[in-house]
Structures are given as C-alpha cells and as structure tokens.
Amino acid sequence: MATLTTNTSTDAVGFRGKPGVTMYAKGTWGSGTLTLAISPDGSNWFSTTSTLTADGFKTITDRVKAVRATLAGATNPSLTIWFV
C-alpha cells in the first residue's frame, strides 16, 4: 500500500515475474491521472496504457519484475494505492 499526496511515483513493488497485477486506487484525485508503470528488471520503467482518473482499478496480465504508479497533473491529491 502507498499514499501519494504530490505528483510523484510510488516506490517499486516487486512481483518476481508473476503473471497479472491489479492496481487499485482510492481517495482525493485533484484532477490528476495515475499511470501504472512496469519494469522487467527493477531499473528500467515503461508506462502502460492503464490509467485512472477516479477511484477504481486496472489489471494487466503481463509478467513483470516490479510495478509502480505515477501521479501527474493533480492539485492537493491524497490517494491510497494497492498492488495485488
């Protein structure tokens, strides 16, 4: 679980190549966009087309080593994010 209160990225969360990751997000958005990023090695990051602008979830089926979420364009956000 992570909380974002500024336009920034969460810490990376490891998934060790497991298939499928779901990102859940809930809170005050401040008109921001949350984008799921994936990494094959924990160092190089790639944005996905999985984005949220309101409470909800997005699932990807790719095998990844790590994931993180990046919030952009928000004013006074307070989001809680979970990766499962």
H or E stretch including 48? strand 46-52
HSE (side-chain half, CA atoms, 13 Å) at 56: 11
**What average pLDDT is seen over the chain?**
95
- Whole-model pTM: value is 0.93
CATH architecture of 2-83: Sandwich (2.60)
Q: How confident is the model at residue 18 (pLDDT cuts 50, 70, 90)?
A: confident
> pLDDT tens, 46-67?
999 999 999 999 999 988 999 9
